[in-house]
Every structure is written in C-alpha cells, then in structure tokens.
Structure 1
Amino acid sequence: MVARDDYVGKVVFDMNEVPTRVPPDSPLAPQWYRLEGRRGDTKVRGEVMLAVWMGTQADEAFPEAWHSDAASVHGEGVFSVRSKVYVSPKLWYLRVNVIEAQDVEPHDRSQPPQAFIKAHVGNQILKTKISPTRTPNPMWNEDLIFVAAEPFEEQLVLTVENKVSAAKDEQVGQISLPLTIFERRLDHRPVHSRWFNLEKFGFGALEGDKRHELKFSTRVHLRVCLEGAYHVLDESTLYISDVRPTARQLWKQPIGILEVGILSAQGLLPMKNKDGKATTDAYCVAKYGQKWVRTRTIIESFSPKWNEQYTWEVYDPCTVITLGVFDNCHLGGNQKPISGSGAKNDSRIGKVRIRLSTLEMDRIYTNSYPLLVLQPSGLKKMGELQLAVRFTCLSLANIIYLYGHPLLPKMHYLHPFTVNQLDSLRYQAMNIVAVRLGRAEPPLRKEVVEYMLDVDSHMWSMRRSKANFFRIVSLFSGLISMSRWLGEVRQWKNPITTVLVHFLFFLLICYPELILPTTFLYMFLVGLWNFRFRPRHPPHMDTKLSWAEAVHPDEMDEEFDTFPTSKSQDVVRMRYDRLRSVAGRIQTVVGDIATQGERFQAVLSWRDPRASSLFVFLCLIAAVVLYVTPFKMIALATGIVWLRHPRFRSKLPSVPSNFFRRLPSRADSML
C-alpha cells in the first residue's frame, strides 16, 4: 500500500504586488492568508500564516533560500547548491624544544642507549637526531615545529626510543600532552622549560594501578609554546592573501575594504553527462585571508548568473584574492564526468588571481577574465568569468607606511624557519584547512581547497621550468638592449649619437656631481613616460608567460603524473634521460660560473706564480699612477679609449681579457 499526501489548499500571490525589503529594514510581520481550492474557490476551510517579500543578497534569509533553478536536485544535494561563507581555522605553529632526558633505561642494560625522541601531533611526525652522548641522560636541544588548529583536537605525543639496530627501534617511554596547557608566545622572549614524566612503555590505561608502583620513570625536559607572532603560511608567499600573525592582539587596523561582485560566467564547456545530456552545474569560490565564500550552484547552465557580492577587510595592499570556478558533482541523479574519471570530485573550470596593489583606489573594475585549465591533453579555455572589483582605501597614510615594512610579521625575520621547514609546514597547514573546511555543511571539498591553495605548485614541471627561464631572460632584456646600444655607439653606427655620447661623457667627467642627479632625473622621466602606457585593467592568466601554448604533450603528461610515478618503465626511462640532458646543460653553466669566480681568486693566490707576480707588479704601478694623476684624467682617458673609432680598434680580444682567461681554476682538479 502506497500512502499519498492529501491536498488541502493553496495561497496565490501576484509577484508584482509582493513588497520589497532591503536591510536594515525590520522583517515583515507575518499575516494570515485564507486557503483556496484547486480552482481558486474559497470552499476550503483554513488559513496559513506567512510573510512574503522580495529580498536581496544582504537579506539574512538569502543563504537559506530555495532557488527556482534547483528543483531538479535530489536528496542531500539540495544543501550543496546554496551560497555559504566559510572561515579557515585559526592556525598556530607549535614549537617543541627538546632539551634533554633523564634516566633513559633500555631493555638491554649492557649496551649504552642511542636515544632519540619521536613527536607527533595528529598526522605530523618528527624526530630528533640520535643523541651524540650515549648515556642514560642524553641531550638534544632541537626544535620540532608543528601546525595546530583551534579548537585543539589533537595532543602532543612524545616517545623516547632507543635505536637497537639499523632496522629496529625500541620504545622506552611515552607521554601525551594536551596543547591547551602550553604557553602562547607573542614575541621572541623564551618561555619557561618544564620536566615531564613519561609512562614506561607497556603500562597502559588498563594498568593504571601498576603505574604508581614504579620507583622511577624516564623524564624529559621540554620548552613548548604556541607561536602567536608568526603567520602560518597555507599558501605561497608569491600570491599570499593574508599576512597577519596568529595572535589577534598583534593585528593592526584594516587599511581598506575589498568588494567583489561575482556576476556571471559565459561560454562554459560541458563538464558531465546527466541523464544523457551534456551539462554544467557551476559555482564560484573566492578566497581572501581567512574568509572563503561559495556562491550558489546554477543548475544546467553554460552561462550562469550569480550576481552575488562579498566584502573583505584588507590589512595589506600587496596581497592577492583568488577565485575559482568549479562544476558541482554532488547534486544526486545519474551523473558521469565527461573526462571519464570515476572519481566523484568537483571538476576545475578555471581560476583567477587579482593582486590588490594593481588596483586603483575607489575605482570599480568590471572585466571578464578567461578561465584557463591545464589538462593532460593541453591548455583549454573553459569560458570567461565576469567580476566587479573595488578596493576602497580607508587610510592612504597607512598604505604608504606599509610599503616600507616587511611583508610578514617580524618573527619570520628574527627567528626564521628553513626552506625545508616552510615547505613541510605549508603542506601540513593546507591539509588541516582542507580537512576542517570539508567538515562544514555544505562541505568545501578537498579538491577545491587544494586547487585554490595550489597544493602542487612545488612539483617538477618542464613547462614551468621553461617559463621561469624565459622570465629571467626577459628580466635581463633591458640590460642586453643597453649593451647592444653601447656596442653600436662604440662601432660608430650612428656618428651623431656617438658624438652626443662623447659630449655627455665629457660633461659628466668635468662635473661628476651631476652623475647621480642625472641618473635619478632619467628614471623620473622614464616613469612619467611609462605612465601613459600603464595597465588599465588587472592582469589575468597569461598563456604565453606560462609557456602553455606550445608545450609538448609528453611534458604535459609528465606534469600531471602522480608522485611517485605511475607510468611504465619505458616512459620513466625516457623522461629520466631527458631530465639528465637538461640537468647536464645546467651543470655546465654552473661549472662555467664557478670557473670564472675561481679565476678571480687565483689572481692573488699564486697558483700561477708568473700571473700573480705580474698582477702584483701591475697593481703597484697602478697605485703610483692613480696617486699622482687626477681621477678626472684617468676616467677621461679610459672613456676615450673605450669609445674610440673602430679604425683604431682590433678585432682580437683585449689584453685584460686574455690575461683573465689564462688564469687557472680548480676545474682541472675535479674527477
């Protein structure tokens, strides 16, 4: 027997007559409305109390509103179509300074202990080195750094272990400490150290009574604190969105307001098949600072319109806001990704980054940004994202003040972490943020958080290596152009230009006090000239700069390979040989640079006694000549010789160049 809900009545409203409410107006008072029958008659008895109004995104009821285009969503997928605001967990660096231990007693008392300490917080595991003193009272004085998130759910678990052999470690004692007992440090002053007694290995919770019968136990000396003066990095410093320290007491006042209107997307490509039809259910995620926002999901549309606005407080203008567009694959129903992957993950559609320092203050930018995605098959344009962005300045003086101060809190410079520590801590912070946001409702899924935070930015990529190389080449293009121009001046390609350069050179030699003012005046004029050609719009993802247009298919496939690799042995061998050839060229360049530096050192090292004696004698002559000759005359003579006409110049290398190239290096001592 199948039960069915019975029809009671309905209430019909004319949309043109529905009142509009704009906060901060008070909510509309509910009213009683008489129910009508199916045909609009009033034979049905009963009334229903409702409040009906037209609202905006600023309305407190907007996040819980039902959208008419989400009628086809099934089951729990209803919760994942609504817009939400998320806040990243408050992250702390946990510094564990392991000083020493006492009474470390191994199982085999005939052998001196080789003790070390293993510490773990959640999934993070770190070890100290083996104590150099093989005694029952070992010392380490090492720092172990972890990432912890409030509320503190994990404990600090310390284990003293003894290395019996290369493949065997035995536990001596263990202790679990809640993170809430540790001091929160706001500066570089040292915290007080404490002794902690360890539970002897083998005595667990069920043997609590026996634990008190122990005559002594191993104890460990620690200095532990939660670092509040650092900023916990969960994203790369190249496009960081927040630079505030963890402790709220150290925060400065905001210097501006960032307003972002996520308007729409156009020309999106189909991302999955639903009931035999290609479609896309797109939503947008924006991340700036600790605040994440997620727009509602527009169902089955290649040109979704969100028209949602969000604001952030800005504490530093040299930060970046990141926006990503994704396809929602958790709406229920019969869905299958077009890519063919069986995993039910939200697919990437594209990402946009906007650096706030490139925006003019109080100006509204309304632009479309291309959504580009790298896939194993190559670069693909997925559509365009239309945004409205405005950066409002609250204090111009504070912004100018910030430009002269470090980007990160001062503890990053007073007590810096190593590069390896920063990479490891950033990876752990990203994992914690992804796990915590994945527990929200609706969850901000792990693949979304990792894509927004660029979790794989440190992985090897031939394409990215080429792009960085050509960035360096373009960086020195100005110097290369200047050297070419000077070469043309020396070759008298344009006699008028060469004569003018001679005149300017003589003027600066006669009046050397004009050199620095002339240099700064030149840079001032160049800046004014370039002001006419300043960028009118924020930059977007550049395919040429990223070297993504002409990338080889195998290089792209290598970039998307897992770590460790999942490819066949032949493919791995081919890629390894290619990497060896590239590394060989880099090795040659590094060796040449080392050779030139060692030749400079060899001038006075007497490795070549004739060259060193000749150079020392020439230095004595140069000292005497420079002492008795005015500096202006020396500079004038040097400039005239360097700018002399090609008729008076030989095509062979100069004498100083020949002398330098004959100096010995240590390359002949290498195997």
Structure 2
Amino acid sequence: MSESNVDFSLKETKPNIGGGRVSGSEKLTSSFDLVEQLHFLYVKLVRAKDLPGSPCNPFAQVKVGNYKGTTKTVVNSPDPEWNQVFAFAKDRIQAVTVEITVMNKESFVGKIGFDIPDVPSRVPPDSPFAPQWYSLEDEHGRKGERGELMLAIWMGTQADEVFPDAWHSDAATVNGESISNTRSKVYISPRLWYLRVNIIQAQDLVSMNNNRVVPEVYVKSMLGNMVLRSQFSPDKSLNPTWNEDLMFVVAEPFDDPLILSVVNKLGDNKEDVLGSCSAHLSKVEKRIMPIPVEANWYNLEESANRNKLEVRFASRLHLRICLDGGYHVLDESIYYSSDFRATSKLLWPPSIGVLELGILNASGLLPMKSKDGRGTTDAYCVAKYGPKWVRTRTIVDSFSPNWNEQYTWDIYDPYTVITIGVFDNCHLEGGSKTADSKDRRIGKVRIRLSTLNADRIYTLSYPLIVLEPNGVKKTGEIQLSVRFTCSSTWNLLQSYTQPLFPEMHYLLPLSVYQIESLRHQATHILSSRLRRAEPPLRREVVEYMLDVGSNVWSLRRGRANLERLLAAFNLLVEAWKSFDKIRKWKNPISTMTVHFLYSILILFPDKILPLAFLMCIVHGASQYRKRPRHPPHMDTKLSLVESVQSDDFDEEFDMFPTSKGDKVLKKRYDRLRSIAGRMMTIIGDLATQAERLNSMLSWRDPRATSMFMAFCVIACATFHLVPCRLFALGFGFFAMRHPRFRINIPSLPQNFFKRLPARADSMI
C-alpha cells in the first residue's frame, strides 16, 4: 500500500529565473529566461604542437580545486588535437587558479596556470572567444622547449553553445566512453508512414512440389522484422483473389524492402512457397487523399536453390502499394498525445505558438541503486512533445540535481500534452556490467497545453510518482517552468473548430485492432531508432514515455474509470437534491419563486431555451472565480492507488500472458483480462465524454469556456428573437437533409467538443 501522510499535491514556486524579473504574467523574450542562470568556467583545449619526447602519447588535464578533467590520449603524435571542452560549475569552485597540465603517458611535459578572477566573461549571442597559443612551462614556471598549447578560457552560462557537449564537473567521477551518456541532447523521431499493401489477386500459380490438391493460398508480407499474413483466398484455384489490405508502419529513410510471398498450405504444418517478389519503398507512390493508386503486376520468383533465383513470368501477383501520408501515425495514447498532424507536411496546419519548458531542478529523490555500500541516484530528464525529444545532462550522485536547461517546441494544436520523465542513469560505469542494465524510472509529469493561459509563466513543483507492486510511492519532486506563447490568436481559436485528426482518419477509418497493431509497430520502430543515437534513448525510456502497455487490464484502473463516470454525472445528482428540497418546502421563498418561474415557462414556452442559455451564462460566470489556477497533474486519489488492496497490485503487475496457475487457468485468465481491458477503455471513454461536457463551463480550458459562453450569448439573443417553432422546423429539416448535402468529416460542434479537456491526462 501507499505511504501514509505523503504529500502528492502540486506546489507553486518562485525560482529566481530571468534575473529575478519574472512574475506570473510578465513576458520575457530573452534566451534562457525560464531557468535560473548558472555560471561555468569553460576551458576549451584545441591542440598542442612541438611537444618533446619520443614516443609521444600526450593527453592534457584540467584541474580546478578538487575537480580534474582529462582529455583523450593521442598516440604517437607530437602535435595532438583534442577539441574538448571542460565546464566547472562556478558555485562549486573552491580555488583561485585553474591549471592545465600536458602529460606524456606518466611523465610531465608542461603546464599553464590562470587566475580565475582574471578570466573574461562571455554572454551569448557574443561570438566565441578565439583560441590562443600559450607556451608550456616546466615545474618551476620556466618557459623552455616544452611546446605550445592552443586553448580558450572564459566564464559563461548554460546558454553557451558548447554547454551540451562539454565535460561537466558534475560528472567528474565518470570516465571513458560513459561520458557520452551524461550529456544533454535533442533527438528527432523519424517520420513515420502507414504503408498500405492491397493484395488483389494472383495468376497462374505453379507448385514446386507438383501438388495437385486444391490449394489453400495466402500471402505473407515481411518488412524488416515485421511479418503479416493475409487470409486464405476464398478461390481455391491457381488464380486466387483476396482484395485485402495489410498495413505496416515504416520510417524514413526506407532501408528495408517489402517482401511478399505466396504460400500454399499443405497440411500437417507444412507449407509450399509458390513464389516471392519485392518492392522498394523509395519507389512507392505517396498519397494524401483516399484516391486509389495504380495497381501493378509483380513477377513471382521461385527459389530453385539458395544461390539462384528462377523468374517465371507466368506467375504474377497483382498489388496496389502506397504510402498513406494523410494519416497521423499514432505512437502515443490518443488521450494524451503530443501531436495529431498528418505525416505529409502538405497537410500540416499553421503554427499557433511556441511552448517553452524550463527544467529547473529536483528535490527529495530516493536512492535508486547502491554504490560503494551507499544509496545513490544519477538523475536525468527526458521531455517529449511531437517528434522532438530532449534529454538533460545527468547529474551524478545527487538527490537534489540542478539542471536549469530550457527547450522550445512549435505548437500546432492546443489539445496536446507534453510529457516529462525523470530517470536514473544506470550506464555510467562502462563495460559489460551495465550493458544489460536498464535505466530506472523515477516519475513522470504530463501537462496539457489547453489548460495553460497564453503568455503566462507557470513555475510549479510537481510530485514524482511511480507505481510499484507494493503500492504507490513518491520518489521526489521536480520543479518546472512552462510558458505557452500564442503567435496567432485567430489560428488558436480556429483550431477548436477543426477535426482532431486529419481527414483521412474519417474518410478511410482504421479499425480498433489495426490501430492497436500499428501503434505497437510504431513504438517498436521508435525504440529501435532512438537507441541507436549517441547517447542512446533506451527502450525502457521510450516505452515509459509513450505509455506502452497502458491498455492492459487493471482492476484498479477499471474501478477508477467507473468512479470518474459517476463523478461526472454528479451535476444531475446535485440538481435532483435541489429539486427535492424545493418540493419539500424546506425554503418557502425558493419554492414560491420556482412556482412562479415554472408558470411563466409553461405560459410562454418560447422563453425556455433563452432562459436555459442564460442559466449557463450565470453558472459559467459564477465558476470563473473558482477556476483552476494550475494545470492538472497526477492524482493519486482519482487513480485509486491509495485505496486498493495488495492483491490488485499483484494482478496489475502480473506479466501478460499470466504466470499464475496451470494452462487452463492461464488461457481463461488472459481472455478475461483482454475483455476486461476493452471494458476499461469503454468506461474511460464514457467518463471522458462526460468530463468534457462538464468542462465547457469549468474554465479548465479558458479559451474553450470563453468561446462557449460567447455562443451562449448569441444563442440567448437568437432564441429570444426567433420563435421556438421556427427553430424546431429548421432543425428537423436540417437533420433530415439529403445525403448529398452531408459531409463525412465531423461537424463544428463535434470538433469543439472533442477538444475540451478531460481528466484522462491526470490518470496514473
């Protein structure tokens, strides 16, 4: 169970950002104005020349107090080149000089010293300091035939362009190749496409085994490690037909070819490959609308042996292959996705603004691993929005890491969520010891952009919460600063009236099973690509950020979604309680007033709708003072992680398929979990719709509530002027209009309603 008396609340903070000039509504445009300014002593070692000694295997050391950084060793070179930057945090410097020493293996070559108070300062966008040649001195400070060293030294901040790739004194205990795992980086996800393979028919198939049995033929498609197969053709002949679509997720650049094989099932787990063909995706047509592309015949090749392919032009496969750029390739949950744009850039909407995120610091982190007999944590952050991932530098051995790094994203839709995760780096020791280790999750934060006021700086401390088999645990807090700057108010308001997904999703919809399968493919591709970066974003990090496995059955989630649904209808319960008080005459004045209003409405029915909209206006205005001041965060009470039993957690953390019981129990239990998982999703969908209905007047999204109240004002005046009978007549004719006057994409009210915020992004 969860720990008692743990504070999971959101706290407002007042960090010293922007030089102490930032208030809640102040606009700042300077770089790195959402983080506290950190000062560093930078030393850039470029190269050396004319170094004595033979053989000469030089390296350099930069020493400031107790901190020491070492360059790589250049073998057999009296003129080595390093191009390495060392950064020492100014607040940790306890020395007045910085000393650079050049060594040849274990022997001393020469040194240079600088007084730290005399080091010049640089503030971007000033140009970088030019490196200069300095003569090396011996142990007694005499200059001789010791060679020269080219370097630059200056005082700067984290806004310096060399900051991400520098060696930091925070990671002084990390050496070798593991240094790269401590650096901050920006990653861009590969552009994902849906590949649609429409299998039409085959012609003149010939069995290699001269089998005269009526064939049961299907087509197997293979792209990389992904294999899909069609159904058996209903035409049991040598000219079978299918007209079936197979869908893949592919990423640019298209390296792997699409290989299709026509297979004849012989029975007894035996198969006969009747022929194969391949298609290179770089030559496949791209489309952005559901217009059929040209179908082509592909000659099937038969493998007589492994080293030779025989082409039989009589056997052919009729295919229609295209890259569907009109879809958005889902890699995240729909409820807290960070992007809804189509793959094709031709369909991208205009930008509505900029999101700026300042990752300040964390506090109260728990020990995540043991080192030298004591607990330690090497924390770093990952933030994901759209195709852009960012990773902060790793602060080694600290329970209160101080990052103060700022990142920026372009925004195209307010109904999107940025996700920030905190992890413990388990790849700093190097060698095979950490090759198979996984970075441990410390916690995650989601922020929905539509809940942020434009041009306001939010400085909040979010609790970091993880769910473990023994219950929920608070692992610390992370302090963030967020600002959403709107560049076009018209585009922002117009986005509320547009469909959430591109038109292709509505004109040629995908089934639920296809979406789940394609999302699994997309997350696998992203994990494979991002772990090949340097430093890699490992699979466990990507899956945690993308919420892989969130649709697996959980009794706790099912109960939480049911309670969300009941709480959303609480307004009807409160209305019934108020009416019950009225009919019981508990307040005679209120009861008489209701009797009077009821008589007026019955005698003048045309005033019913204007009065209803007027009540919405009054209720919305009364809720303005109670509007949420902060964006939502992970809610432990809403997620029921504090009230469930340990057996429920044991079921939730059980692997899928289950490891409990014998084979029969395993089969039945997995089927139950699969069905229950879909029921949980349906209940969550109902709760989301009900919460969106309540959010129209709750000011959770201030722009949406303002737009709805403006509509209520117009509707109130319209229904006051237009007789109700005329409105009912027009509505009836509109609802029964001819199909040629209908559109296949959602209407404006539907688009507005789907963009209203719900509490799904507050679920753990």
Contact 1:281 1:299 in 2 (8 A): yes
C-alpha contact 2:368 2:424 (8 A) present in aligned 1: yes
Q: Which residue of 1 aligns with 2:123?
A: 22
Q: Does the alignment pair 1:143 with 2:245?
A: yes
1:477 corresponds, among 564, 567, 570, to 570
Match of 1:319 among 410, 416, 424: 416
Which letter maps to 2:110?
G
**Counterpart of 2:369?**
272
- The whole-number CA distance in structure 2 between the counterparts of 1:245 and 1:448 is 25
576 and 426 in structure 1: CA distance in 2 versus 1, 3 angstrom threshold = closer
Q: Is the 1:200–1:218 Cα contact (8 Å) retained in structure 2? A: no
TM-score by length of 1: 0.81
Match of 2:177 among 62, 76, 89: 76
Gap change, CA 1:459 and 1:31, over 3 Å in 2: same
1:328 Cα deviation after fit: 0.3
Q: Which residue of 1 aligns with 2:153?
A: 52
1:234 corresponding residue in structure 2: 331
Q: How do 1:460-475 and structure 2 match up within 5 A?
A: 460-475=553-568
| Distance in 1 (alpha carbons) for counterparts of 2:527 and 2:671 | 35
Offset of 1:559 from its aligned partner? 1.1
Structure-2 residue corresponding to 1:260: 357
Q: Distance in 2 between matches of 1:89 and 1:398?
A: 27
In structure 1, how many angstroms separate the alpha carbons of the residues matched to 2:429 and 2:336? Answer: 35
Which AA in structure 2 matches 1:266? S
Q: Distance in 1 between matches of 2:487 and 2:494?
A: 13
Q: Would the alpha carbon gap of residues 87 and 472 (structure 1) be closer, same or farther in structure 2, given more than 3 Å must change?
A: same
Matches within 5 A, 1:165-564: 165=267, 167-204=269-306, 206-208=307-309, 211=310, 214=312, 216-332=313-429, 344-564=437-657
Distance 1:316 1:274 in 2: 45
**Pair 1:13-2:114 in alignment:** yes
Name the count of aligned residue pairs: 577
Alignment of 1:37-48 (within 5 A): 37-42=138-143, 45-48=146-149
Aligned partners of 1:578 and 1:199: how far apart in 2?
41
SS of corresponding position for 1:35:
strand
Task: Please list the CA deviations of residues 422-456 of structure 1 after superposition, one character each: whole Å capped at 9, or x if unmatched.
Answer: 01100110010000000011100000000000001
2: distance between equivalents of 1:297 and 1:20?
Answer: 25
- Report how far residue 569 of structure 1 moved: 4.7
Runs of 5+ consecutive residues of structure 1 not aligned to the other structure? 591-630, 633-671
When residues 574 and 463 of structure 1 are mapped into structure 2, their CA distance, relative to the original with a 3 A threshold, is farther
Structure (1 or 2) with the greater helix fraction: 1
Equivalent position amino acid for 1:90 in 2: R
Cα 1:57/1:467, change in 2 over 3 Å: same
Find the aligned partners of 1:570 and 1:120 in 2 and give their Cα distance: 31
Instruction: Rate the CA distance shift 1:568–1:538 in 2: closer, same or farther, 3 A.
Output: same
Cα deviation, 1:381-430, whole Å, max 9, x if unaligned, reads: 00000001101110000000000001111111111100110011001100
1:33 match: 134
Deviation for aligned residue 1:343: 5.6
Residue 220 of structure 1, CA deviation: 0.7
Distance 1:378 1:109 in 2: 61
Residues in 2 aligned to 1:230 and 1:579: alpha-carbon distance in whole angstroms:
32
Matched residues in 1 for 2:277 and 2:664: separation? 48
Give deviations 1:192-243, integer Å, cap 9, x for gaps: 1100011124454x224xx25x4x4421111100111111110011011011
**Would the alpha carbon gap of residues 17 and 171 (structure 1) be closer, same or farther in structure 2, given more than 3 Å must change?**
same
3-state DSSP of counterpart to 2:480: strand
Report the AA paired with residue 415 of structure 2: C
Matched residue SS, 1:12: strand
2:175 is aligned with what amino acid? H
Q: Give the deviation of 1:117 after TM superposition.
A: 0.9
Q: 1:451 to 1:51 in 2, by over 3 A?
A: same
* AA of the residue aligned to 1:457: S
Measured in 2, the distance between the counterparts of 1:574 and 1:381 equals 36
Deviations 1:511-547 (A, max 9, x none): 1111111111111111111110111111111000111
Q: What do residues 117-153 of structure 1 show as CA deviations (whole Å, max 9, x unaligned)?
A: 1112122222221111212111111111100011112
Cα pair distance change 1:133/1:45, threshold 3 Å:
closer
- When residues 162 and 336 of structure 1 are mapped into structure 2, their CA distance, relative to the original with a 3 A threshold, is closer
Q: Does 1:116 align with 2:116?
A: no
Once the two structures are overlaid, the 10-residue window that deviates more, 354-363 or 251-260, is 251-260
Matched to 1:160, the amino acid is V
- AA aligned opposite 1:182: V
For residues 60 and 577 of structure 1, the distance between their equivalents in structure 2, rounded to whole angstroms, comes to: 53
Give the conservation status (yes or no) of the 8 Å contact 1:274–1:335: no
From the CA coordinates, give the structure whose radius of gyration is larger.
Answer: 1
**Aligned-CA RMSD value:** 2.8
Q: Which residue of 1 aligns with 2:260?
A: 158
Contact 1:155 1:179 in 2 (8 A): yes
Partner letter of residue 351 of structure 2? P
More strand by share: 2
Of 300-309 and 120-129, deviating more is 120-129
Describe the SS at the equivalent of 2:596.
helix
Contact 1:273 1:335 in 2 (8 A): no
Q: 1:357-380: CA deviations, max 9, x gaps?
A: 111101111110000000111100
Measure how far apart 1:486 and its partner are. 2.4
> Does the CA-based 8 Å contact 2:328-2:341 persist in structure 1?
yes
Distance 1:330 1:265 in 2: 20
The Cα shift of 1:470 comes to: 0.4
Which residue number in structure 2 is paired with residue 665 of structure 1?
Answer: none
Shift in Å, 1:70:
1.1
Post-superposition offset of 1:568: 4.7
The alignment's TM-score, normalised by the length of structure 2, stands at 0.72
CA gap 1:130/1:481 in 2 versus in 1, 3 angstroms: same
Decide which moves more: 248-257 or 404-413. Answer: 248-257
Q: Which amino acid aligns with 1:136?
A: L
Aligned in 2, Cα 1:126/1:4: closer, same or farther, shift over 3 Å? closer
After superposition, the Cα gap between the structure-2 partners of 1:173 and 1:122, relative to the gap in structure 1 and judged at 3 Å, is same
How many angstroms apart in 1 are the aligned matches of 2:109 and 2:299? 71
**Aligned AA (2:348):** W
Structure-2 residue corresponding to 1:565: 658
Give how far 1:577 is off. Answer: 12
Matched residues in 2 for 1:324 and 1:449: separation? 10
Q: Which runs of 5+ in 2 are unaligned?
A: 1-56, 58-103, 684-723, 726-764
Q: Counterpart of 1:535 in structure 2: which amino acid? A: P
Deviation of the 1:190 alpha carbon: 1.3
Give the Cα–Cα distance (whole angstroms) in 2 for the partners of residues 487 and 173 of structure 1.
76
Contact 1:273–1:336 at 8 Å: present in 2 too? no
Partner-residue secondary structure (3-state), 2:559 = helix
Q: Partners of 1:574 and 1:96 in 2: how far apart?
A: 33
Distance in 2 between the 1:488 and 1:576 partners?
A: 48
CA distance in 2, matches of 1:146, 1:576: 30
Counterpart-to-counterpart distance in 2, 1:569 and 1:132? 38
1:5-40 Cα distance to aligned partner (Å, 9 max, x none): 311222222223222223332221122223233454
Provide, for residues 462-482 of structure 1, a one-character-per-residue CA deviation record: whole Å limited to 9, x for no partner.
111111110001011111221
